[in-house]
Structures are given as C-alpha cells and as structure tokens.
Structure 1
Amino acid sequence: MKEIINCAAYQSGCRIADVELNKVHEVLKDVNQFVWIGLHEPSEEVLQRVQKEFNLHDLAIEDAHLAHQRPKIELYGDTVFIVLRTAHKNQQQHIEFGETHFFVGKNFIVSVRHGSTIAYTEVRSRCESMPELLSKGQGFVLYAIMDFIVDRYFPVVDDLESDLEAIEDKIFKERPSRQTTEQIYQLKRELLEVKRAVSPLVDICNRLMRFDIKSISAETHPYFRDIYDHVIRINEMVDNTRELLNTALEANFSLISISQNDTSKKFAGWAAIIAVPTMVAGFWGMNFRVIPETESEYGFYAIILGTIAVCVLLYVLFRRSGWL
C-alpha cells in the first residue's frame, strides 16, 4: 500500500515540482513556496521522517500514528495540529468513519488519512485549477479539504432522515413490532456517532476564524466561516433528527402498549363469554338427585337457548364497547 500519496511544492498558486520527502527541508528555505504532502496510513518510520523534516511535536506524531482521536485542534508552537473524522455510506448502507489529521505550519501542510476515508485527489485537482486561490497558501488547502470532509456529511445526514421517515411509516402504517424498536435504536446509535464527529467542528472553526494562527493567513478566515455555517446546519439537522427519533420511539412504545391492551381486552371479552356456558354446565353437571328442569320435557333446550342468548348478548355488548 502506498503511504506517500503526494508530495509537491507550490509557488504563486502553481505546482512547480514533486518533492522527495527527505528533501522537503530544502524547499522550505524559500518562503515563497509551500509544500503539500498527502499520507495514507503511514508507518511509524514515515511519520518520523515527516517529523524530522518539519520539526513536529512528539505528542502530535504519536496521535497521528495511533489514530482513533476525537476531533480537535491543538497548537504546538507555530504548528497547528487538527483531527477531523470523515463519514460516508458503504455498499451495505452503513456509515463508515475514518480520520484525517493535519499538520499546518508556516509554509507546509501534511494530511494523514486513516481508516475508511476517500482520497483527496479531487480536492488537490480542484485547488490546482484555481491558482489565484491556491496562492493564499496552506491555509486555503486546509479549508478545501475541510470543506470536502464537511460537505460529505450532508448526504449521510439526508440518508438518516430518510431512514427516520421510513421508520415513521412503519410505526403508523404497520403493526408495531420489536424489529421497529431495534431499527430505532440502531439509527439513534448512528446519529450519536455523527454528532460526536460533527459537534467539535464548531469549536475548531471558531478557533481557525478568530485566533491569530501564524501558519494560517487572515485572508482565509472568511472561508472557514463558510465551513462554520455548514457545520451549524449539519448539527441542527442531526439534533432535529434525534429529537424526532425520540418522539418516534415514544410513539412506537405507546402503540405497542395500546396493541397489548387491545389484545388483553379481547382475551377478557372472550373469557367472559366462555364463562357463561362453563358456569351453566357446572351447575347442571352436579350429582344431585333433584335438579331444576331435569324432568321437564323442554328443560334441556331452554337452558341451551338461554345460554346461547346470554353469550350473544355479551358478544354484542363487548363488540359495541370495542373490546372485540
């Protein structure tokens, strides 16, 4: 597997050369150039070479190697270390999360991808096609990749909203079931994962917009405001979906309870109806010498008809009351 996806030098918004990793320090001597390096699940050896070239902090390198970090932004001297989580739907329609770590310095940016993430080849191509914007330096590159990551949350959240609508249709149009409850909990779990990934981005964007970070020019601050707006929208969509999902869960429980009550009523109604002939049979089945109506010619038929009449009457009353 290729660990170093790209390592190139840029000047005035144009790609001027591909650079070998161990020669990056020579490019960094020119303050008018910056280096953009893309790594995919690099080994510890590659990260140590990157650390040596850019003089990166040990703790940041350790985080970039181990991965499984929460989204965050940290400053190590003049270098900014940022962790973002990526998300997309796989072929089985399950959400897969990955991580991208960034090291942003005075004239360099290093992106480190981990897990299920989509390559940023498209982002690099788009940036290289806009030299007037790429000339803003590594700050614009950071914006472009962050914007790409955040925008990919929209289809994920849209799919979750569609799943919620399907669950609502199941709840109100079909018979409530345990399977529906399991689907609700599965969707709640996915929404919680998305919330954990997106929520910290608000603070990250705020710091990138408002703090004086030497490695990110003030010209790029408005671009991060655009990402901030997108993050707020995604957070609102997730919160609204979670609230509706909680309501759907309560509605499902209520309908299940109503269904159980209806079933209990039916059992009670039929039990009451069956109790009538059982009681009659119990009375006339006792071993006494003298039992009323036993010597009557029509006594048996009268008891049978009376029993049937009472059962029919009970059935009609229960039917009217909604118990049957």
Structure 2
Amino acid sequence: MVDPRTEGAPELYAPSPRPRPAGAPRPPRGRPPGTGAVVDCAVYVQGRREPPVDPMEALDTAVERGGFVWLGLFEPTEAELGAIAGRYQLHPLAVEDAVYAHQRPKLERYDDDLFMVLKTARYVEHEQLTATSEVVDTGEVMVFVGAHHVITVRHGDHNDLTDLRQRLEEDRDLLCHGPAAVLYAVADLVVDTFVDVVEQVQDDVDELEASVFSPERTDDIGRLYQLKRELMSLRRAVGPLEVPLQKLSERPVDVVPEAMRSYFRDVLDHAIRVRDQVGSLDELLSSILQASLARTSMADNEDMRKISAWAGIVAVPTAIAGIYGMNFEFMPELRWRWGYPMVLLVIATACLLLYRGFKRNGWL
C-alpha cells in the first residue's frame, strides 16, 4: 500500500502537530494547526464496517467488495480536497464550493453523482439577551454522494458527525441502502438540530414579549432587532432546504434507492414544520417590535402631556409676576395694604384649579 503522504499528496492524517513550513498554506480557521482534514474513513459492506483502510485506497476496496466508503472531512484545504477529488472523480465546481463554503442549501447533480449543501445551526447560550448577543451560529455540511462513496465535508465547530456515524453503524438495515442512507442521516440530523434551536429561540422571544408588556418601562427595541436578525440567518438556513429534500423524496435519482424516498419525505415534513415555526416567530417578533414602538411612543406622549400641564401651571404666576414687574404707577391694588397677599392667593387658586383640571383629564 502506497502512503499518499510520501507521494507528494497533501497531508490528510496528522497525529501530532509539527511546524508549518515557510510558504505553506495555513490550516482553515477553526481547525487546530497540525491536524489532518480526515476525521474518519471506513468501508461498509452490507451495513457492516470493514477494517480500516487508507482514504486513497478505500474506493477500490468498496468497489471490490460491493460496498461503499464513507469519508468524513473537516474544513479541508484546497490541496487536501483536491487530492481526494482526483481519486473519487469529484466535479471541480462542487469541490470549489466545498472548500470555500458560504453556500446556500442546494442539491446539484454532476453526471451520476450528487452534491448537497446543508446549513447547520447551533444555539449560542447567553445569560441575558442584549442588542449585540449572538443567538444562532451557523455552519455548513457538504455531502458528495456516488454509487460507491459518500464524502461529508463539515465547516464549523458544531454538528459533529462522529455520534451520527456510530448510530448508523448500529442500524445495519439502514446502512444497507448505501450512500443515500448517510445523506438521509445527515439531513435528518441537521433538521432535528433546527428543531432544537427554534425551541430555544422561542424562549428568548417569550422573554422579550414579557419584557415589552411588563408594567415597568423598558427599552427592548435593540434586543428585538438583534433577535430578528439572528432569526433571519436561521430562516436562510431552513427555507432553501425544502426544494432539495422535495427532489430527493419525489424524483428518481440513480444513487438514491426508491426505498429511501420515504425517509427523505419524513425529513421534508420536519423541515417544513421548522420553516413554519421560524416564520411564525419572525411574524411574532415583528408584532412585538411594533408594540414596543407604540408603547414607547405612548410613553413619550404621556411625558409631553405632563410637561405641557406643568408648563401651563407655571405660566400663571409667571404672567402675573410679569405684569406687576412692569412698574407702572397706576396698577390694580398697588397702594392697597393687602394687595400683595391677594395676588399670591389668586396665583395659588389659579394653579390649584389648573392642577385639578389636568389631574382629572389624566395629564398629571
């Protein structure tokens, strides 16, 4: 067996870190330096995992034994995935999408192979939602599906597929359906994760709704807008997934057995439910945002009424003092002994009457 590392191929496995040579490409963000792109590689025959094989020889082993190889990659570089693509005859356009990520969910067919992009999501825990809180963190999983191979390329430090592989290896009947079973399991895991994320976002929406309609005056507009933006990223991950799943569940595809269509229909039903939940939360946030703006406007109007009422009350003594401050010789009650107390009494009476009037009308 020829070791690809000794033949100039990029390093796929790296059990121990080593210094990066000058001019060598840096590892992708999120992957520790010195670690290889291959997370796991195994050949499955009749639903049973075979002894370990080298990624470059796994395809020949799978074809020879009538099984398929599942190769899992984590944030491979262009050179690393290029070596794999050459061996597994992956389409260059799909390889480019898998390396640079930031793709929308989609399903594309290249000759007899399928290439599917799925957005992953993770709820970011936080003590209190603020106007700058990150609520939803998104990543990507790309899946190459052929007659004898399935290659998963993961971007992001969440939605690890190790546990999924272990669960599938315990379900031999499902693995007997070939690479399409892995594609179904990955899609099902991604959609189930969406369900969990939506439920946790629902708690944030409920907390904001309670805050907006609480007796205390709060400023929740910034937090509402931030949560609405985070929900939009989740909506972009869930919404476009409906069309690819619909194709897999309804249209005949060579690498997807007919028996697997019912599985994809189940995933499609879950994805539609999540899409509807996200849409409902978005509409609810819009309503809460409008209610918050209306409540803020009402509070401002109430403040203006109070200010105007007090200004009207203060205007009475100001006007009387201004009249008597003009120092004319002939003024009402200017020579009267009780003129000054009388003016003060008039001012107090007028202010009291105005206060009672404003209070009765709800301005104070």
Taking structure 1 as the reference length, the TM-score comes to: 0.96
Alignment of 1:46-57 (within 5 A): 46-57=80-91
Q: Name 1:224's counterpart in structure 2.
A: 264
Q: Name 1:17's counterpart in structure 2.
A: 51
Q: Name 1:69's counterpart in structure 2.
A: 103
Query: Which of 236, 249, 272 does residue 276 from structure 2 map onto?
Result: 236
Could you report, residue by residue, the CA deviation over 1:173-193 in whole angstroms, capped at 9, with x for unpaired residues?
Answer: 054544x10101101101110
1:271 shift after superposition = 0.5
Q: Name 2:340's counterpart in structure 1.
A: 300
Q: Name 1:272's counterpart in structure 2.
A: 312
Aligned partners of 1:176 and 1:157: how far apart in 2?
28
SS of alignment partner, residue 242 of structure 1: helix
SS of alignment partner, residue 73 of structure 2: strand
1:2 shift after superposition = 3.0
Aligned residue pair count: 323
Q: Does the CA-based 8 Å contact 2:136-2:231 persist in structure 1?
A: no
Q: Name 2:255's counterpart in structure 1.
A: 215
1:300 shift after superposition = 1.2
Q: Which runs of 5+ in 1 are unaligned?
A: none
Q: Name 1:131's counterpart in structure 2.
A: 172
For 2:173, give the aligned amino acid.
Answer: E
SS of alignment partner, residue 328 of structure 2: coil
Query: Which of 43, 63, 72 does residue 38 from structure 1 map onto?
Result: 72
Aligned partners of 1:139 and 1:163: how far apart in 2?
37
For the pair 1:287 / 2:316, whether they are aligned, the reply is no
Alignment of 1:113-192 (within 5 A): 113-178=154-219, 180-192=220-232
Please, which moves more after superposition, 227-236 or 155-164?
A: 155-164
Q: Which runs of 5+ in 2 are unaligned?
A: 1-34, 127-133
1:230 shift after superposition = 0.7
For the pair 1:257 / 2:257, whether they are aligned, the reply is no
SS of alignment partner, residue 25 of structure 1: helix
Pair 1:101–1:3, CA change in 2 (3 A): same
Query: Which of 238, 246, 253 does residue 206 from structure 1 map onto?
Result: 246
Aligned partners of 2:159 and 2:241: how far apart in 1?
19
Aligned partners of 1:174 and 1:207: how far apart in 2?
51
1:28 shift after superposition = 3.8
For 1:315, give the aligned amino acid.
Answer: Y
Taking structure 2 as the reference length, the TM-score comes to: 0.86
Could you report, residue by residue, the CA deviation over 1:11-68 in whole angstroms, capped at 9, with x for unpaired residues?
Answer: 1111012220111232243362111110001122221222122211111111111111
SS of alignment partner, residue 216 of structure 1: coil
SS of alignment partner, residue 306 of structure 1: helix
For 1:79, give the aligned amino acid.
Answer: D
Aligned partners of 1:176 and 1:200: how far apart in 2?
39
1:274 shift after superposition = 0.3
Query: Which of 196, 199, 203 does residue 236 from structure 2 map onto?
Result: 196
Q: Does the CA-based 8 Å contact 2:122-2:138 persist in structure 1?
A: yes
Q: Does the CA-based 8 Å contact 1:78-1:214 persist in structure 2?
A: yes
Could you report, residue by residue, the CA deviation over 1:297-322 in whole angstroms, capped at 9, with x for unpaired residues?
Answer: 21211111111011000000000100
